[in-house]
Structures are given as C-alpha cells and as structure tokens.
C-alpha cells in the first residue's frame, strides 16, 4: 500500500527511484507563497458558494498562515514522498487542522493549481524585472546627461565612422531597454488570466465562482476554456522570449564595455568593485561583470528553446511533461534579474575617459562626411564631393594627417571651393553640434532626449 494522497487505487508503494524521479518539490517549493495565496482564495470561494462552512474556512486559513510562517522560518520539512509543493502543503495542513484540511482540494486539481501558482509567480517576477529595467534606465539617463558633450568616435563595421556624443550612444541603450520593458508589460497581460476552476481538465461539478477567485487574486479575467487552462504554458515561453531579447541587448552593452575597458580602446574605467584580477598576471583587471552577463545570455536562450521543445506536440490537456517547465523558467528569471541588478549597480559608476575618446575621434577621419557636406554647400553634387573627400583622405593616410590637421592649401588641392571656414566643420564639436534634430547626436538633442526619458520614467 502507498500513503500518497492519490494512493487509493494502488497496490504497492512507489518505487523509491521513481518517487525521486517524478518529484518536483526540490524546485517547485519556491512557489510556496503563491500556492498558499491560491489556496486561500479557493477556500474563501468554496465558503461563499456553500461548499465549506465558515468555521472550516477559518481553520484552513489559520492553518495555511501557520504553514507559511513555518516555511519562512525554516521549520517546514519538505518531503520527496509528497512529490510537489502542492501536496506537501496540503499534507501539512491536514496534519495541523485534521480532516478539514482534506476538504481544501474540493473542486480543484493540481493541474489548475499549478497553472495558477506559476502565473502568480511569473506575475510577481515580471514586476521585479520591470523595476530593475527602470533602475538601469535611470542610471543610463544619468550618465548620458553627464556625458552629453563628450565626443567619441561612432562606428559602423567597428570602423570609425562619424563623431558622436557618448551620451547619445548611451541613450541608444536606453531605447533598447524601453522596448524590453514594453515586451514584459505585454507579456504580463497574458500571464494575468486565472486558470483556477478548470480543475483537472473539464471543469468541476461544484458551483464555483471563478469571478470571485479572479478578483481575490488580482487577475483580470478567468480563462475561457478549461482544457487550454491546464495545458497552456505560452506565458512562460513569452517570458523567456522577452528575456532572450533583453539578454541579447545586454550582450551588446557588455561587448562594448569589455572593448572600451581594454587598453586598445581605453575609453572607460570600470570601478574595481565590478572587476576581478588574475591569479597569475599581477597587472590584470578583468571586466568580469559584463563578460559574465554576455555569457549568461546562453542559458536564457537555451531555456526558451527548452520550453518551446517541451510544449511541442503535446496533446491536450495536462501532461506530466509540463512539470519540466519550472527549472528553465526559474533559471531564466534568476539570470535576468541578476544581470539587470549587476548592470543597474555598475552603469552609473562607469567613468568616461573623455580625452581618450576625443583623441580616438580625431583619428580615423571621422569628419570626412562633414567635409563632403561642406563641399556640397559650396554647390558641388554629393557624389563628386564624396570623391573629392575620398582623395583628401587618401592623401591624409599617406601623410599621416587627419583632415583637421591639414593646411588650407593642402585641402584646396582637392577642391578650389574649400575656404577658410572649412575648419569650423572639421572640428569634432562642430560635427556633432550640427546634427541638431530629434534623434541626432548633438549635445543639445541628447539633453532633450534625457528630459523626455526622465519624464517617461517618472510616469511608470
Ligand atoms: N508537480 C506538477 C507540475 O509541476 C503538478 C501537477 C501534477 N498533476 C498531476 N496530475 N500529476 O506540473
């Protein structure tokens, strides 16, 4: 005989390995709060519709709140034999309050229970992720405002392209994060629908009030179809998809920070507290935080693939396969929160090496486009201007001189239209300030973008 809650029809105990193999309590116990929250709402609802008495309900609520306290203080013994968080808590309740504990599961199945718990859990964690994205964005805006006038080379193909302001570059990161934020907000809408009441798969014969549980648990609506309710894990996939895009963005920030912190770029200093050293090379200071964030993207992408593969071809309705949704989902949550936290702490502490950035922008002919635009303003068609400046650059490479370092006579070899006023456009500050429209790199525009960003953040 087995003493499992479902043991009635069984003639021998579960094989010891199978018990461990099928158990999920090792990893689903982290949903204990949500499980209790769901049970509280279910018990109140059963009471309102007359399935439980007020006294029974009071005992259940009292028992559950004691269990929550026991778990929180470490006085709860989780048992593999009891398989999962749901049956562990239910068994503990019965032990505490007697037979009334056995009534809690009326009109409910672990199938709708677990679907409810995960949704509550993901909803809470989305709120945490959103708060961390906002904190990181705050840090980015702060640094961008501080570096609105700092000129650096902008790159395409990782080759020096045109001068940009460091603040403008940082605000590009901000934009990516705004879209990530929206993706999580959107995901949350589909998370926030209540499956409780679907029971095992077909609904229940008890006169349940799903609108009441919906309201008690803060969901926007009950799910429409019981079969779908117990088998849908789209919301977890969406969470991992939004997380993957976010992580992809984080790898881009990371890659840039790693490059900029190198001796070859030497654009920034990452404070020591975000770096570590080498056990053999005494001179080393490694940008571990961005490197690790870059690396951790792999697990989140992997979890997205795991969940897609997990759900693929599953017939309706609930299948035990679904128990495998938790570890990937939980690790995606932990990873994303950890990476966001590390970045939100680190970004405001980034120190720009302004002179080095400026120096780098002065190399690589970054104002060549400005010279071409200047020649166009003197009445030469753009394609011809491009050719003229190309020749000037070739000369500069040969003479090892940037455009701004050439004399007027040298520049006039390439076009007679070039006059003394050319030097206004060949300066870095002239170049960035001239791009003075919404979305442009001018310091002025960076400050306006920061204003709009702060306004937006304050309304979240
Ligand atoms: N531990 C299970 C899970 O995580 C709970 C639901 C199990 N239902 C069942 N009939 N075996 O999905």
**Known catalytic membership, residue 278:** yes
Residue 344 resides in a domain: yes
pLDDT tier, 3 (very low <50, low <70, confident <90, very high otherwise): low
Ligand 1 pocket: which of 111, 199, 230, 307 to mutate (most atoms within 8 A of CB): 111
Same domain, 425 and 319: no
Q: Which atom of ligand 1 is nearest to the CA of 326?
A: 4
Closest CA to 144 of 163, 164, 128, 167: 167
Residue 460 resides in a domain: no
Same domain, 25 and 116: no
The CATH number for 82's domain is 1.10.275.10
The parent domain of residue 211 ranges over: 111-151+164-352
Is the four-CA dihedral 141, 145, 148, 151 of positive or negative sign?
Answer: negative
Q: Which atom of ligand 1 is nearest to the CA of 114?
A: 5
Residue 264 resides in a domain: yes
pLDDT reported for residue 4: 77
Same domain, 145 and 202: yes
pLDDT tens-digit series, residues 169-189: 999 999 999 999 999 999 999
Residue 347 resides in a domain: yes
pLDDT tier, 153 (very low <50, low <70, confident <90, very high otherwise): very high
The CATH number for 204's domain is 1.20.200.10
**Known catalytic membership, residue 157:** yes
Model confidence at 1: pLDDT above 60: no
Among 105, 134, 157, 386, which one carries the catalytic annotation? 157
pLDDT reported for residue 263: 95
pLDDT tens-digit series, residues 276-331: 888 888 888 999 999 999 999 999 999 999 999 999 999 999 999 999 999 999 99
Residue 452 resides in a domain: no
CA of 323 relative to ligand 1 center, distance in Å = 6
Same domain, 342 and 373: no
Helix (H), strand (E), coil (C) string for the chain? CCCCCCHHHCCCCCCHHHHHHHCCHHHHHHHHHHHHHHHHHHHHHHHHCCCCCHHHHHHHHHHHHHHHHHHHCCCCCCCHHHCCHHHHHHHHHHHHHHHHHHHCCCCCCHHHHHHHHHHHHHHHHHHHHHHHHHHHHHHHHHHHHHCCCCEEEEEECCEEEEEEEHHHHHHHHHHHHHHHHHHHHHHHHHHCEECCCCCCCCCCCCCCCHHHHHHHCCCCEECCCHHHHHHCCHHHHHHHHHHHHHHHHHHHHHHHHHHHCCCCCCCEECCHHHCECCCCCCCCCECHHHHHHHHHHHHHHHHHHHHHHHHCCCCCCCCHHHHHHHHHHHHHHHHHHHHHHHHHHHHHHCEECHHHHHHHHHCCCCCHHHHHHHHHHCCCCHHHHHHHHHHHHHHHHHHCCCHHHCCHHHHHCCCCCCCCCHHHHHCHHHHHHCCCCCCCCCHHHHHHHHHHHHHHHHCC
Same domain, 286 and 305: yes
Average pLDDT estimate for 231-235: 98
Same domain, 190 and 300: yes
% of the chain residues with pLDDT over 70: 99
Same domain, 17 and 57: yes
Domain count of the fold of the chain: 3
pLDDT tier, 27 (very low <50, low <70, confident <90, very high otherwise): very high
pLDDT tens-digit series, residues 401-450: 999 899 999 999 999 999 999 998 899 999 999 999 999 999 999 999 99
CA of 116 relative to ligand 1 center, distance in Å = 12
Q: Which residue has the tokens 């919301």?
A: 235
Same domain, 98 and 117: no
Average pLDDT estimate for 351-377: 94
Q: Which residue has the tokens 């006294």?
A: 55
Residue 419 resides in a domain: yes
Model confidence at 145: pLDDT above 60: yes
Average pLDDT estimate for 133-141: 98
% of the chain residues with pLDDT over 90: 93
Same domain, 200 and 141: yes
Distance between CA 335 and CA 137 in Å, rounded?
18
């Amino acid at each position: 005989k087995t003493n499992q809650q479902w043991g009635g029809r069984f003639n021998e105990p579960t094989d010891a390995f199978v018990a461990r193999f099928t158990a999920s309590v090792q990893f689903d116990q982290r949903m204990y709060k949500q499980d209790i929250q769901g049970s509280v709402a279910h018990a109140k609802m059963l009471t309102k519709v007359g399935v439980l008495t007020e006294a029974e309900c009071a005992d259940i609520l009292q028992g559950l709140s004691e269990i929550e306290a026991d778990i929180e203080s470490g006085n709860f013994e989780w048992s593999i034999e009891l398989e999962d968080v749901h049956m562990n808590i239910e068994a503990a309740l019965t032990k505490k309050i007697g037979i009334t504990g056995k009534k809690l599961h009326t009109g409910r199945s672990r199938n709708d229970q677990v679907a409810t718990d995960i949704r509550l859990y993901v909803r809470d964690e989305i709120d945490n992720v959103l708060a961390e994205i906002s904190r990181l964005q705050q840090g980015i805006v702060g640094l961008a405002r501080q570096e609105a006038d700092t000129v650096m080379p902008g790159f395409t193909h990782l080759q020096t392209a045109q001068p940009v302001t460091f603040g403008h570059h940082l605000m590009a990161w901000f934009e990516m994060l705004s879209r990530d934020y929206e993706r999580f907000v959107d995901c949350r809408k589909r998370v926030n629908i209540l499956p409780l009441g679907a029971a095992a798969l077909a609904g229940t014969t008890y006169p349940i009030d799903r609108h009441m549980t919906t309201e008690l648990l803060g969901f926007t609506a009950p799910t429409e179809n019981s079969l779908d309710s117990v088998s849908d894990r789209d919301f977890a996939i969406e969470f991992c998809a939004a997380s993957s895009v976010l992580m992809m963005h984080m790898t881009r920030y990371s890659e840039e920070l790693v490059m900029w912190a190198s001796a070859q770029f030497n654009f920034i200093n990452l404070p020591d507290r975000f770096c570590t050293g080498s056990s053999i090379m005494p001179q080393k200071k490694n940008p571990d935080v961005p490197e690790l964030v870059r690396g951790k993207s792999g697990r989140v992408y992997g979890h997205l693939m795991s969940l897609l593969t997990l759900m693929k071809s599953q017939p309706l309705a609930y299948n035990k396969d679904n128990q495998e949704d938790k570890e990937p989902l939980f690790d995606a949550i932990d990873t994303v929160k950890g990476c966001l936290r590390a970045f939100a702490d680190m970004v405001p502490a980034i120190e720009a090496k302004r002179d080095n950035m400026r120096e780098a922008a002065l190399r690589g002919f970054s104002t060549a486009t400005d010279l071409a635009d200047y020649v166009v303003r003197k009445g030469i068609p753009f394609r011809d201007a491009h050719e003229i400046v190309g020749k000037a650059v070739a000369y500069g490479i040969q003479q090892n001189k940037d455009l701004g370092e050439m004399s007027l006579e040298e520049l006039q070899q390439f076009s007679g239209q070039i006059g003394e006023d050319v030097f206004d456009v060949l300066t870095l500050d002239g170049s960035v300030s001239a791009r003075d429209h919404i979305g442009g790199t001018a310091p002025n525009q960076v400050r306006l973008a920061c204003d709009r960003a702060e306004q937006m953040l304050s309304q979240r």
